[in-house]
Structures are given as C-alpha cells and as structure tokens.
C-alpha cells in the first residue's frame, strides 16, 4: 500500500491546514486506501484495520467531504462515553472551517433540540437509539453516519443497540469502522457497503507466549525466544521492558488481581522523574469524586511508577492515571480488560495475564476470553513515535498450554460477528423502538427484516413480540403505542423493566420505606449489578430497615439476582441517608466508580419509575418515586431537597448550611455573611448569587 501526500489530496486548503496543524503531512496506507476506495466521494465503506491505524482521521475526512458536498448533518457514534469525549475533542479542530461540533450522551428522555445548531454530532449508540424514538427534526435531517468500533455488534450487552442503530443508519450514507472482522464481507453486504480490510499497523506487533513455569521464557510467533530471570513471569517481563525504556500494560481478569499485581510490580526499582511524579500525586489527592483509601493506595503506587485501573475507580482518578501514563511518568498500569476498549492508551508492551475469566451468570464457572478480546488488548502494544515495535505476550502456566493458546489467540482470526438480538429482552425492546417512530405494523415488520439476525428467527420473534407487547399494554391496535407504551419508549427502559414496575406496583400499596422501591428497580433488566458472597445474604436481609415487595426465590440464580439487587438498594439507601462516602465504599466493598455508576443508574430508574407511575395514573406511587428520584440524584435526606436546588450546594455543604440554620435558598440570600463564614468567601459569594438566581431574587 502507498501513502498519499496531504498536498496531493483532492480537498480544499482549509482541510490541509487542519491536518498540517496536527503535524500530518502524509496519510498512512490505511487512510490512503480508504480514499482510493471512494471515501471522499461518499462511497459507503466498512473499514477494518488494527487499533491505532488512523481510522478516526478517515472518519473526519469522510464527514468533512460529505458536508462540503452539501450534506446536511453528520453523526459520529461510539460505544463508550469516554470515547465520545475523546472524539469530540478531536473533531473540534474542524470548527476552523466553520463546522459546528456538538456532543450528547446520557439523559435519554429528551430530543436534544439544541443539536439542530450543529453540523457534526458525536454521541453513543445508546443515546442515538433513544433519540430516534423521540424523532427530532434535526436527526431526521442527518444524512451521514459513522459507526465506530463496530465489532461491538458482538457484545452481549451493547450488541443489540449497535444493530438497532445500524438498521436505521444503513438507510443513509454510512461509514463503519472496526478492528479486524473475520466475516467482513458478510457484514459489508448487510450494510450495503464495500469492505476495505488491511492489517497495516503504525508500529509492527510482535506476539508471543510467556511460560511462567520453573524457567521463565517468552517464545514469539516468529520463532525467536528470550529467557528471563526471576520466579514471577509478569514481574520478570515487566522489569525487562521498563529497563529498556518502555511502558507496560498488564491485563488481569479481575479488579483484585489487577490491584494485587500492581503492588507486586511496585516492589521493582524504576528510574522515575520524582518531581513530576509528586505533582501527579498532588493532582490525584485533589480528586473530589473518590474515596480516601483509594487515593492513598494509588498515591503510594504512583511514587513507585505504577497504578491500577478499572471501572471501580472514579472518572477523576482514571483521568489522572491515564494522563500520567501518556506523559510516560507512570511506567506500568495493571488493568481489567475494560481499559483496552475504552481508552487510547498505547504502551511498548502488553501482558495478557489471564485467558480465563469468571462467568457471572454461571456461578463458579470460568470461561476463556474471546479472540476478539485478546486482539483488543494486544492492539494497545506499540507507541507511535516512541517504539519501532510493540510486543504482546500471553501468560500461560506450563509448556503444554503454550502451543494451543498461541494457535487460538495469535495465529487465528477473531470470531465472526453475530447478531445479539436473538433474545426476547433485546428484540422486544427493538420492536418497541421501531413502533415509537409512528410506524405502521407493515413498516415495523419491514424494518425487522433488515437486521443481521437469521430471518427465520426474526419471524418468530416478530410474531411473539408484537403479541407480548400488545398483551402487556404497550401496543393498542396494530403497533400503535398506548400512553404507557409511549412513555416506556421515551424513557428508553427495557419493556421487561416497565412490566416489572407495573406488575409489582399494581399489587402493592404505597410504602413509607424506600427499600422496596429501590430493590424492585435494581431487580429489573436495567438495574445495576453488585457482586455478593454467600455469607453476605443473611447480613443483607438483617440490615434492611424494612421488607421488600418480593420474597426470596428458591432457584439459585434468581436468588443471587435478588440479593444483588438488595445490596444495590441498601447502598442507595445509605447514600440518600447521607452516610459518608468512604463509609459506604468500605461497608459494601465498592470503588468510587461503582458508587457513581450505581447512583447514576438508579437516578435514571427512579425517574423512570415516577414517569411510568404517572402514565398508569398511580399518583401515590408517583409521588414517592419523584421524591426518591430527587434524593438519589443529590444523595440527601428529604429535608435538604430545597437547599440542594442551589447549584454548588451538594450533600456536604447542604448539611453544613442546614445544621447552622440556613435551610432554604431564601435563607442564603438573607444572610450572605454567614454563608461566607461557613463556606469561605469565594464559594460562599458564588452560592449566594446562585440562590438569588434560582428564586428570581436580586442582590
């Protein structure tokens, strides 16, 4: 493949200027091939190439050329919020050409009318799927879609949403981007696109198997090998790479293993920039959305040039760690595989410490990771501009496994992409989404024929799904949404979640205790999950301040889900009772990121429960749910709800003000001196102004 000089591109000078500002003077072979295949002329493409091969720039050029040809609006879709923010910041460069760039994610019960002002919108698959249900005019005008990380079609959780978005997007101009797809021709045919496939990487990848037996050795796929000194394979390999000036990402199959490995690696001696490390540690200490024990652990590790990274950490902590690694201050990150998908964080070497993981649905069962997951992790090896070669090694415990593991993960292509719409929960939600677009039964049936799922299976799910949605009050005549069905579609909750709320509340009177409501919501398909041990179950029942709406099931898996939901309910109960965050994290064995995720999800579900209750005309339940939603959002007792309406007054400041006699926004305006004495002059003055603003007062 040839590279193309930017000066030779058939684009206007403004485009070349943006590229030159980034230091791009030539396009790499992947980008050049996309242009050769018609990217700038609007050709529909499915482009698959390894991580780090410049696919984002391909999307940018495709979007800008489309808009320059008179296109109305372009939508760039990613599977993760972290990626959405990252891509948004990249696309902002194009405002130099007067293209306005907007971003949206979360908050599903809205049509985001403000986005009509933007030419390029960056969003997530879930958010876009929810927006289609609201049918805003600005979205109907969108005529170019970039579907990033399209291999998420194979993801059990996000796959159905990716497919749902693709069914609509493939009716417009489309560019799909992905890591290697073994059945790219089938996928491209389904998308009505041309497949463009390349294995080119900016930094060549060397893959091998690390055997951590009596003797530690790495055997590479090219036949070379290296012996390492030591008794621990991961430590020995990490010492070698860092000693040569590289950085290492170590992937482990659980948070506990990631943290344990980080502490072991911290015992190694690395050459560090002490001053910059201390500055990084100070930034981490100032992170507000984190527990104190997390911060103290990470600061101690940072001073050794090491950090762990997983979803249990808050965004603030993860941001500091990622920045430290990009600046090459942190030498080693130990992480769970979620890091491989969510962040652009390359390293000289990647260590896949485990090819097994626990299956949460089958208790005690371990399964091997997929080849695609390995490709995602190994794809992080090699830092453009720093490394002439990246390395990825898989750790095995003995030589017997080495050949099999190498054949499966290194020498084989990833699994073919398959539809994940083949279950009632996913498919019925898809049907509800289609019907929400003021569709007829005929058009809904027609759209279902455009999914990637086998057509015979589709036929069964369509018939059963329409019948189920009608019997459970979502559809009236044909596929016309009832008041209840419309509300559920707008809220973007699973119809089985709505059915649970409807069934449980129809048989229950209003409760003064919040636990039954929180437990019911956590037990729905949309509810957050919590890990529990067998010994915890009795403690959870004993510590609950009141009974739940439902009895403990006899079946083991259902009982596990029951207690997982009860744990979530108790976590949120403590949160809204203003229990200190550190105490909650310690009591339930959570990370600050877990708590944020639980609160965010339960905020959405309590709001949804309130709206569903209103749609069903259950005013008493609706009133309880609304109050609960407000408390979950801010983490406060009911008495603080009026005070925390003031921006800047959270649960801690609110409690301090309340205990000192300042109990309403009006009180803050009447006694600004007292507010400043409690919160400090700068913060106090700002909060007094905010209080005046929200009640229409004048200072």
Binding residues for ATP: 31
If residue 396 lies in a helix (H) or strand (E), which one and from where to where? strand 390-396
DSSP 629-649: HHHHHHT--GGGTTGGGSTT-
- Tokens representing residue 77 in the block: 């879709």
From the annotation, which residues make up the binding site? 31
Helix segments in 170-254, DSSP class H: 184-191, 233-243
Q: Sheet harboring 74-78: ordered strands across?
A: 101-104, 120-124, 74-78, 144-147, 173-178, 45-48, 194-197
Q: Give the SS3 label for residue 664.
A: coil
Nearest to 299 by CA among 339, 257, 348, 266: 266
Taking the C-alpha atoms of residue 628 and residue 242, their distance in angstroms, rounded to an integer, is 51
194: which strand partners?
Answer: 45
Neighbours of 298 (CB within 10 A): 25
SS3 (DSSP) at 601: helix
Residue 95, CA distances (Å) to 73, 223, 347, 456, 538 in order = 14, 50, 31, 47, 58
* 553-560 contact pairs (CB < 8 A, 24+): 556/363, 557/361, 557/363, 560/363, 560/532
Burial class (CB within 10 angstroms; exposed 0-12, middle 13-18, buried 19+) of 144: buried
Residue whose entry in the numeric block shows the structure tokens 């990825």: 392
Return the bridge partners of 122, or none: 76, 103
Closest of 96, 164, 94 to residue 124, by C-alpha: 164
Backbone phi and psi for residue 520, each to the nearest 5 degrees, phi listed first: -60, -45
Backbone angles phi, psi at 276, to 5 degrees: -65, -35
Distances (CA, A) of 529 to 140, 522, 590: 35, 8, 12
List Cα–Cα distances, 38 to 74, 111, 146, 194, in angstroms. Answer: 18, 33, 15, 10
Cβ atoms < 10 Å from Cβ of 619:
11
**Minimal CA–CA distance to 28: which of 56, 50, 4?**
4
Q: What is the DSSP letter of 481?
A: B
Q: CB of 137 within 8 A of CB of 73?
A: no
Q: Record the tokens describing residue 559, joined without a space.
A: 């009982």
Instruction: Give the H/E segment covering residue 209.
Output: strand 205-212
First to last CA, the chain: 67
- Interhelix angle for 424-435 vs 159-169, to 10°? 30
């Amino acid at each position: 493949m040839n590279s193309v000089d930017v000066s030779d591109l058939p684009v206007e000078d403004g485009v070349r200027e943006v590229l030159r500002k980034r230091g791009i003077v030539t396009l790499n072979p992947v980008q050049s091939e996309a242009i050769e295949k018609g990217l700038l002329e609007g050709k529909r493409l499915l482009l698959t190439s390894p991580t780090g091969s410049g696919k984002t720039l391909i999307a940018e050029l495709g979007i800008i050329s489309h808009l320059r040809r008179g296109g109305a609006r372009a939508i760039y879709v990613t599977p993760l919020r972290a990626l959405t923010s990252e891509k948004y910041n990249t696309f902002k460069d194009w405002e130099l050409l007067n293209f306005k760039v907007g971003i949206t994610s979360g908050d599903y019960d809205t049509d985001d009318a403000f986005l009509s002002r933007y030419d390029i919108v960056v969003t997530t698959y879930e958010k876009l799927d929810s927006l289609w249900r609201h049918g805003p005019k600005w979205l109907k005008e969108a005529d170019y879609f970039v579907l990033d990380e399209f291999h998420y079609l194979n993801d059990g959780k996000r796959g159905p949403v990716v497919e749902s978005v693709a069914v609509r997007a493939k009716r417009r101009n489309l560019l799909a981007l992905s890591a290697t797809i073994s059945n790219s021709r089938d996928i491209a045919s389904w998308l009505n696109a041309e497949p463009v496939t390349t294995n080119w990487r900016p930094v060549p990848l060397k893959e091998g198997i690390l055997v951590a037996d009596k003797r530690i050795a790495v055997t590479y796929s090219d036949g070379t090998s290296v012996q390492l000194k030591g008794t621990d394979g991961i430590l020995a390999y990490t010492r070698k790479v860092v000693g040569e000036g590289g950085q290492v990402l170590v992937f482990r199959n659980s948070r506990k293993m990631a943290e344990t490995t980080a502490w072991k690696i911290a015992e190694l001696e690395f050459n560090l920039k002490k001053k910059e490390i201390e500055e990084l540690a100070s930034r981490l200490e100032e992170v507000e959305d984190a527990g104190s024990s997390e911060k103290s652990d990470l600061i101690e590790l940072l001073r050794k040039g090491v950090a762990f990274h997983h979803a249990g950490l808050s965004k603030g902590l993860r941001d500091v760690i990622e920045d430290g690694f990009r600046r090459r201050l942190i030498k080693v990150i130990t992480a769970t595989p979620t890091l491989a998908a969510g962040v652009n964080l390359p390293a000289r070497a990647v260590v896949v410490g485990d090819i097994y993981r626990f299956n949460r649905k089958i208790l005690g069962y371990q399964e091997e990771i997929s080849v695609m997951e390995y490709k995602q992790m190994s794809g992080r090896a090699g830092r453009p501009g720093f490394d002439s070669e990246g390395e990825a090694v898989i750790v095995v415990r003995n030589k017997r496994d080495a050949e099999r593991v190498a054949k499966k993960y290194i020498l084989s292509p990833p699994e073919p992409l398959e539809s994940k719409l083949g279950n009632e929960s996913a498919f019925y939600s898809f049907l509800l989404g289609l019907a929400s677009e003021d569709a007829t039964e005929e058009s809904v049936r027609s759209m279902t024929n455009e999914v990637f799922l086998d057509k015979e299976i589709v036929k069964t799910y369509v018939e059963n799904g329409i019948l189920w949605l009608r019997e459970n009050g979502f559809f009236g005549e044909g596929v016309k949404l009832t008041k209840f069905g419309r509300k559920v579609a707008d809220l973007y909750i699973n119809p089985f979640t709505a059915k649970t709320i409807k069934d449980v509340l129809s048989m229950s009177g209003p409760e003064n205790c919040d636990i039954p409501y929180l437990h019911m919501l956590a037990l729905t398909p949309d509810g957050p999950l919590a890990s529990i041990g067998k010994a915890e179950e009795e403690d959870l029942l004993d510590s609950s301040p009141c009974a739940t709406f439902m009895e403990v099931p006899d079946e083991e898996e259902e009982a596990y889900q029951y207690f997982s939901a009860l744990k979530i309910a108790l976590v949120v109960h403590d949160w809204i009772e203003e229990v200190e965050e550190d105490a909650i994290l310690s009591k339930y064995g959570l990370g600050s990121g877990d708590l944020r995720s639980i609160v965010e999800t339960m905020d959405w579900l309590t709001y949804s429960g309130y709206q569903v209750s209103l749609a069903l005309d259950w005013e008493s339940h609706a009133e309880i749910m609304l109050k609960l939603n407000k408390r979950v959002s801010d983490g406060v007792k009911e008495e603080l709800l009026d005070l925390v309406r003031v921006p800047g007054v959270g649960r801690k400041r609110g409690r301090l003000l309340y205990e000192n006699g300042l109990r309403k926004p009006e009180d803050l305006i009447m006694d600004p001196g007292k507010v400043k004495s409690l919160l400090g002059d700068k913060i106090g003055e700002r909060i007094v102004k905010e209080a005046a603003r929200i009640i229409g007062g004048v200072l």
